Structure 1
């Protein structure tokens, strides 16, 4: 069934709103290139809107009531926000769930070395990437260095106009005959994704010979000491992420698209945040959870498989005066959720991997995937028809442009989201998100219309799902 292109439906006023949402979205992408940065940005915004950390509620013993706004953070990489509704918690929540980690390259814990008077950082890529896409790009370093005394030193190098950038080198075409015969997966190997960060030997200084072995490495260490008061061993307790340098940009002569790093899945995360901030009085408790580690299986303390979210719901139950364990079980079972993650946009350059009748298209709005997984729906949540009907009604009530799609041809591959994890509680869950071109590449493309419709759709879900 053909869906109308949303661009053809907008009034002048709606186009202004669309641009406002997308400008805010691009700013968020620029400020939130790592999970920690996304959490810091989110906290700044929600506290201005009246949200308070659950720790304050626990210490004060104040009872949670309708209209209260509460958030909880896990290790500065995952956050859950709650706008308490009029109905008891055990009757369920309307939950928006997205992930804020994106494919990237991480710096190892013993990374700095010199090879033929070139200094490098040893790396380990994170998530599903085509390794060859990451060479010869201007790259930035983001993250934190944590000293032994607990001091946290933020790092962001490569984003300002006058900042240096970094690069992963590639073999020149003139000598690449054998390299060009390799399969794409091995054209660039993981161990060759090391970051070039210096080539200048340290200058003569007291107690140091200019001809000293590894003088380039010594110079890098000197600079790290100067700018970050960092010793080489501080790499052991550092989290440094390598991401593309540069800002989110309008794409196309018509400025109809956004080109940026990390849109999987921050396009869903930030539009969910925008929707959450616009929620007013609601019957059911509105919830937004932004999580880490989806790209590597939702594992660890900050991934969706952890008990963090369940524990926080238990704290809310206790603060509302309800019996915690039973209330938590009922609240989760009775909840409804949008697992907000991106979908693959139909790309006519690679039409052979798409089934056109079941593909997601640019400009046709928020995408719903009844199921994800791969081949025979392996690893998938499969939403039931009754829930789909409720979703359709909510979207139509708020005049949201939306479409239903699958992730490519049945045997072409596949992917998953956090939906199946939350479905384990017995709640109703469906995948929803924005169609993306070049997903998992260093620079991804979205339609501004779809970004806007995602914001509208998430807001409609929080308001209309009763």
Structure 2
């Protein structure tokens, strides 16, 4: 049982979101229940001051917002929170069927910077999006989730690989095909998907044409530890930030313009129609503020908080952190800084966040990568460069980033949400 209602809802969200498409569906459901109105990009919009709306692109990216109140929104600007819906995983190849020694396997492609070792010997299921044609010749797309364990990637016994604990490298092409069953004939994977669609209630399925499917660990999210200090789950990076931003937006009172943007494809560079380096956010902004001068004036007094999890200092590997910048779990959100602009934080945006956190009684930590190590990045610098909006990079500290099962503190997510809510309400940056 979760220790707080916030964590109980978070765990439900994580378990319901095995892929970016499922995550966006979960976000849509919560927004609709909170009174936000869905809009479609190829239709005209009639927007009312203070009202909430959302749009989706590719089914895997979403922008939710409240229209600003007041006659001159360009003077108050927008308060934006950004996160990403995708996580590193194993994706099924287009022609994946393999039959070796009587075993049916699916070939996989590595999506993003996956920590591969933890994927072995897990109870895996399949979920994603399937495109199909019905008996009348019409095309459809549906979300699919097998839910139960249907596959595993078995390890090789140590007796046959004596170097497994010292020097084995994982060959993604040969070591990772997932094992599904025993068979004498090669199954038709698309036909298996068609049968699953029919079992899910889809009628008239004639042929599955294509799919985007991810394997995922069926072990659910949970609070763990003697005192429940931690949350263990798949996809904490970065569904945790999506949920935190969502809760803050829903809880915020209308006033200035308030935006939550959750993009897909961050883990592979963000360069796509629905990624942060694509046109989605800019095109949305041009529609809600069509006057270019007013839009640019608004951006100059706006602020984006890019929320993406931070590297907590690992007690077994503390030397991997700068000695003065090792964030601890359950000690508050982390401001991420980098002199080479891998993070977009600066002293002014950091000061705004520190001021908000102090007023909420939430401690703040800092992360700077060791000077002799390379630094990762986020959607923060990308969005800042695309829009020219002042930006801050923050995140909840976590362990095991990009593993099949990650770990964060059980008190940090709610603490960050308590800071983001007044950020959405802040009248002046």
TM-score greater than 0.5 by the shorter chain: yes
The aligned counterpart of 1:208 is none
Question: Residue by residue, what CA displacement relative to the aligned partner does 1:11-39 show, whole Å, maximum 9, x if unpaired?
Answer: xxxxx997111111011000112110111
Counterparts of 1:353 and 1:187, CA distance in 2: 23
Residues 1:122 and 1:72: Cα distance change in structure 2 (over 3 Å): same
- Structure 1 unpaired stretches of 5+: 1-15, 202-214, 372-376
Residues 1:339 and 1:465: Cα distance change in structure 2 (over 3 Å): farther
| Aligned partner (choices 278, 283, 286) of residue 314 of structure 1 | 286
The aligned counterpart of 2:335 is 368
The aligned counterpart of 1:420 is 381
Counterparts of 1:456 and 1:278, CA distance in 2: 9
| Aligned partner (choices 229, 242, 246) of residue 269 of structure 1 | 242
Between 39-48 and 421-430, the greater mean CA deviation after superposition: 421-430
1:188 CA drift (Å): 4.1
| Aligned partner (choices 178, 193, 198) of residue 195 of structure 1 | 178
SS of the residue corresponding to residue 62 of structure 2 reads: strand
SS of the residue corresponding to residue 94 of structure 1 reads: strand
Residues 1:459 and 1:221: Cα distance change in structure 2 (over 3 Å): closer
Runs of 4+ in 1 over 4 A off after TM superposition: 178-181, 219-225, 233-236
- Contact kept? 1:198, 1:220, Cα under 8 Å: no
Residues 1:196 and 1:410: Cα distance change in structure 2 (over 3 Å): same
Counterparts of 1:245 and 1:17, CA distance in 2: 19
Asked if residue 305 in structure 1 is aligned to residue 277 in structure 2, the reply is: yes
Count of residues in correspondence between the two structures: 415
Counterparts of 1:17 and 1:465, CA distance in 2: 35
Residues 1:118 and 1:44: Cα distance change in structure 2 (over 3 Å): same
1:220 CA drift (Å): 6.3
1:387 CA drift (Å): 2.5
Between 425-434 and 393-402, the greater mean CA deviation after superposition: 393-402
Name which one, 1 or 2, has greater alpha-carbon Rg.
1
- Structure 2 unpaired stretches of 5+: 200-205
Normalised to the residue count of structure 1, the TM-score between the two structures is 0.83
1:181 CA drift (Å): 5.5
CA RMSD of aligned residues (A): 2.5
Residues 147-296 of structure 1 aligned to structure 2 (within 5 Å)? 147-148=132-133, 149-157=138-146, 159=147, 163-177=148-162, 182=167, 186-201=169-184, 215=185, 217-218=186-187, 223-228=192-197, 237-282=210-255, 284-296=256-268
| Aligned partner (choices 328, 331, 356) of residue 394 of structure 1 | 356
1:225 CA drift (Å): 4.7
SS of the residue corresponding to residue 373 of structure 2 reads: coil
Residues 1:421 and 1:18: Cα distance change in structure 2 (over 3 Å): farther
Counterparts of 1:307 and 1:437, CA distance in 2: 32
SS of the residue corresponding to residue 332 of structure 1 reads: helix
- Contact kept? 1:111, 1:235, Cα under 8 Å: no
- Contact kept? 2:191, 2:207, Cα under 8 Å: no
- Contact kept? 1:95, 1:289, Cα under 8 Å: yes
Normalised to the residue count of structure 2, the TM-score between the two structures is 0.90
- Contact kept? 1:29, 1:266, Cα under 8 Å: yes
The aligned counterpart of 1:328 is 295
Counterparts of 1:229 and 1:391, CA distance in 2: 50
